[in-house]
Structure 1
């Protein structure tokens, strides 16, 4: 347990080093006011949350090195890449909250709702995005995999933004149409909006640091995307059926008219009167409407449907992982799967 705490403490320390470098970036002549703004904006948006994505880079790298001592320099580089993913996440969330007109994020006001911030947050999102190549240039420019890293971050950002677009146009405000909520649409949104940057990106960073060519790991990418889908399905299930004390939030997918796995499964199984009940009650911030939707989910035995989906997905993922020729890669993938699986156990 001690080493896990040490890694997290080291990871947090490296955030402060990277931030100090960005606040002293020679490409911009900072005023005192602008430096204070960026300092506050970064602290507010970047290091919150569980930091799982960022920490996964260094965890994966250590597993890939299997038994070889990881140097202090390698730990720093792995953590720097992990922070690039956390910066990417912060950029997505700052803009996502504006698009969704959200109120809170990670237990505090969304950045754009903070007094005197408002829509300056749009530009802050752009700055967060632009910090990533600054960090990469500062610490990776001499590395043989530098260009591959730039390509990777660009590609994953494009995939995530495209997934967000698909989500937004499917759940368009004022055009509530449950007929758009199908399993293929759901899978595509999840794959592009969540799975690439949350699951594939940390492992891809670790593979590049290890001197690997990502073209040789297409199977690994596919497994991680499937894992990301499994993670999101589980997240959607817990949003409705999980204990808020345990999962750390009160689910609002029903009120928010989310294209959730549960509503997609309900629509596939519902008769006409049940579909009518769904269309009349889904997406309303009224506790009676929410209760009717939850009762319908129970009637359709969606808890049983999820249990069946979960066991089949888990078996499929394990067999795909065990088919990987590299024991170190298997260990990386199993560690990801274990983290997901224990969330509800």
Structure 2
């Protein structure tokens, strides 16, 4: 799959940032402009940008297969506009992560101290998150209001934001239930959280943006959405394993799912496999902000061979998703789906 180069993509960030800093609707003072400038640089471009880059990559692949001209380069305008949509997703991601870190009392993100823990930031970060959220419609208005798919773009981003916010709420409420009674953690509730909180914006949104740019109607690709949502569910289970067992130096953060009493794939599977003695260990130690308690939970996961069980689950999911993708009627969309699956299969960070 031909991919957008990082330099081209990141050059678009600089353009968008400059536009937002001068957008009269925000009516910034010199001091607040400096704050927002620093805040954007700290929170928006620091990750791997996989979601954002996927818009251009998906659009290019669809265009190649639709026009039957493999290797054909996108025009400068196509590269720019697809990158703009990619950055809108990265802006949404930055908002979600910034606020999520506050709610989870996280310490690090992307290899750095969380924004809200920076000197003199604190709870101002909540307003910063809202600022990032409001940047997205301004970017879309600036660059897409003359496009025939502009309203569909607005609806798409609004729908995905609603899903993500609802998923976060269910996640937080479920955590309260888990703190009171860990037996509440079951697969249906875990899947509901994951679909809403992760799958929509991480998997469906980039491909949907590329489809709209290609002149396609989203309602004709409901099967695509189903496949991407399932892929996102598998991705989050994978992320749960990485949060628990990944090296902080590699993944860029210190995983806190155990301390935060999160309803993860691992704890749901552990509850399913535990005998009564093991269940007591889990109940006594899960959700405790204590290194010894965390170590006991991780040791129990190792005893139950949760990582090996995940590897079996991953193989089955890969085979299932591959079969669904192979049967998809559009070769262009199918190729995009295959490229997404290839990027995440057996990832370790």
- Give TM-score, length-normalised by structure 2: 0.92
Q: Which region of structure 1 is more displaced relative to structure 2, 278-287 or 248-257? A: 248-257
| CA distance in 2 between partners of 1:94 and 1:245 (Å) | 20
SS of the residue corresponding to residue 29 of structure 1 reads coil
- Distance (whole Å) between structure 2 residues aligned to residue 95 and residue 253 of structure 1: 16
The residue that corresponds to 1:63 in the other structure is 61
Aligned to 1:46: 44
Gaps of 5+ in 2: 65-69
Q: Secondary structure at the match of 2:162?
A: helix
- Equivalent of 1:200, from 198, 204, 208? 204
Please tell me whether the aligned partners of residues 107 and 254 of structure 2 are also in contact (alpha carbons under 8 angstroms): no
| CA–CA separation in structure 2 for the residues paired with 1:253 and 1:191 | 18
**Inter-CA distance 268–77: structure 2 relative to 1 (3 Å threshold):** same
Aligned 8 A contact 2:106 2:256 in 1: no
Per the alignment, residue 67 of structure 2 pairs with none
Choose the corresponding residue for 1:23, options 21, 24, 29: 21
Aligned to 1:98: 102
1:250 CA drift (Å): 4.5
Superposed displacement of residue 24, structure 1: 1.3
Find the residue that maps to 1:172 and give its secondary structure.
helix
| Residue in structure 2 matched with residue 167 of structure 1 by the alignment | 171
Corresponding residue of 1:220: 224
Which residue is equivalent to 1:157? 161
CA 1:77 to 1:296, structure 2 compared with 1: closer, same or farther past 3 Å?
Answer: same
CA shift digits 1:50-80 (9 cap, x unpaired):
1111011001111111134411100000000
Is residue 78 of structure 1 aligned with residue 82 of structure 2?
yes
Q: How many angstroms does 1:158 deviate by?
A: 0.3
Q: Give CA deviations for 1:212-240 in whole Å, capped at 9, x if unaligned.
A: 00001111111111111111111212333
Whole-Å Cα distance in 2 between the matches of residues 145 and 22 of structure 1? Answer: 22
Match of 2:287 in 1: 283
Cα separation, 2, equivalents of 1:133 and 1:291: 44
**RMSD between superposed Cα atoms in Å:** 2.0
Residue 303 in structure 1 maps to residue 301 in structure 2: no
Aligned equivalent of 1:88, options 71, 74, 92 = 92
Indicate which of 326, 330, 333 corresponds to 1:322: 326
Secondary structure of the 2:176 match is coil
Quickly say closer, same or farther: Cα 1:117–1:295, change in 2 above 3 A: closer
Cα 1:27–1:286 change in 2 (3 A) is closer
Unpaired segments of 5 or more residues in structure 1? none
Matches within 5 A, 1:234-273: 234-244=238-248, 246-273=250-277
292-301 or 58-67, which moves further after superposition? 292-301
More off after superposition, 73-82 vs 114-123: 114-123
Q: Distance in 2 between matches of 1:249 and 1:216?
A: 39
TM-score of the superposed pair, with normalisation by structure 1: 0.94
The answer on 1:123 being equivalent to 2:127 is yes
Separation of aligned partners in 1, 2:49 and 2:84: 13
CA shift, 1:304, in A, is 3.1
Aligned CA distance change for structure 1 residues 243 and 93 (closer, same or farther; 3 Å) = closer
Range 163-172 or range 244-253, more displaced: 244-253
